[in-house]
Structure 1
Amino acid sequence: MSSFKIPVSALIVIHTPDLQVLLMERADKVGYWQSVTGSVERLADGTLEAPFDAAIREVAEETGLDARQYAFSDWQASNVYEIYPHWRYRYAPGVTENTEHLFGLELPAPLPVQLAPDEHVRYEWVDWREAAKKVFSWTNVEALRMLGARHGETL
């Protein structure tokens, strides 16, 4: 069984009704802020986990929150991006692109979260516009723009 990551992932924008967004700083890259993200996994029977299920799992792993207890939605959108060279070793040789599926999780208010210390070192709740300036990934910026548009706002 391969230990390489599968180049299909989920990005989950966790936000409040007034568009405060949860951002987390990566443990392996100081200054790299992001929403919850993670790759799908191969299940015990050899099939691939659905992006929807991966999103729920990643929210739990990275924040301690159960997405099923809140307004969790599949935005029916995805982006294909080039995997940063410094992270390509995680994927099979020759894999250079990832398909990222977008999801939203609306919480009633900013909640404290339990970070996975091997993945993130700190978190903060910020206005969605500030979040779009702070995240390192263009796909995360696009997801934040989508969040604003879903609420009649623009950057």
Structure 2
Amino acid sequence: MNTAALRPPKIPESVLVVIHSPQGEVLLIERADHPGYWQSVTGSRDHADEPLHDTCRREVAEETGILVGSAEVPAQALQDWQLRNVYEIYPVWRHRYAPGVTHNTEHVFGLCVPRDIAVRLAPREHLQHVWLPWREAADRCFSPSNAEAILQLPRRSGIAPG
């Protein structure tokens, strides 16, 4: 039985969470389904009325094991950057959406965490992780909207732009 056929279509509204340290290093994760594709945490709403902060917390926990709202990462460490990107969904991933859906709306958030925080990847989703200075992280991202969000980090987080 094909279990993928039983899943409801993805909602074309997602979050992008730029996880960073106070020093401006950015956590990137490599996709298991496309080795060499590096990105920040991303994920779609589970249901249309799921609050975006909840989507962020769920996706960050699922993909990295980092718990927003814990003693190590307080809830206020997650910041809505009030950025929205509308982009065309890559054809390779359109089968996950309802027929005719071609665009996604992405809401950008930042999450400041301690640099030495433990990262536990979801092995079905990601192969490895790396911490990079923000400019290098932007250069490594395959997604233009992800790279652009990372380039916003100095302005959004107060780290030195140098």
What is the 5 A alignment of 1:4-83? Answer: 4-42=9-47, 47-69=48-70, 70=73, 71-83=77-89
Give the drift of 1:40. Answer: 0.3
Instruction: Measure how far apart 1:51 and its partner are.
Output: 1.6
Normalised TM-score (structure 1): 0.91
Instruction: Name the residue aligned to 2:102.
Output: 96
Equivalent position amino acid for 1:12 in 2: V
Q: 2:112 is matched by which residue type in structure 1?
A: E
Per-residue CA deviations over 1:10-48 (Å, capped at 9, x if unaligned) read 000000111111000000001000000000012xxxx52
In the TM superposition, structure 1's runs of 4+ consecutive aligned residues that sit over 4 Å from their partners are none
Q: Distance in 2 between matches of 1:106 and 1:87?
A: 29
Contact 1:74–1:103 (8 Å) recurs in 2? yes
CA apart distance, 1:2 = 6.5
Fraction of identical pairs, as percent: 55
Give the count of matched residue pairs.
150
1:58-114 Cα offsets, whole Å, 9 max, x none, are 000001111223211111111001000000000000000000001111012242311
Q: Which is further off, 109-118 or 87-96?
A: 109-118
Which sections of structure 2, spanning at least 5 residues, go unmatched?
A: 1-5
Aligned-partner SS, 2:19: strand
| Aligned equivalents of 1:115, 1:98: Cα separation in 2 | 25
Aligned-CA RMSD value: 1.5
TM-score calculated relative to the size of structure 2: 0.87
What secondary structure sits across from 2:33 in the alignment? coil
Cα shift at 1:148: 2.4
* Amino acid across the alignment from 2:149: A
SS in structure 2 at match of 1:68: coil
Question: Could you tell me which amino acid in structure 2 is paired with residue 34 of structure 1?
Answer: Q
Tell me, in whole angstroms, the C-alpha distance in 2 between the residues paired with 1:2 and 1:49: 18
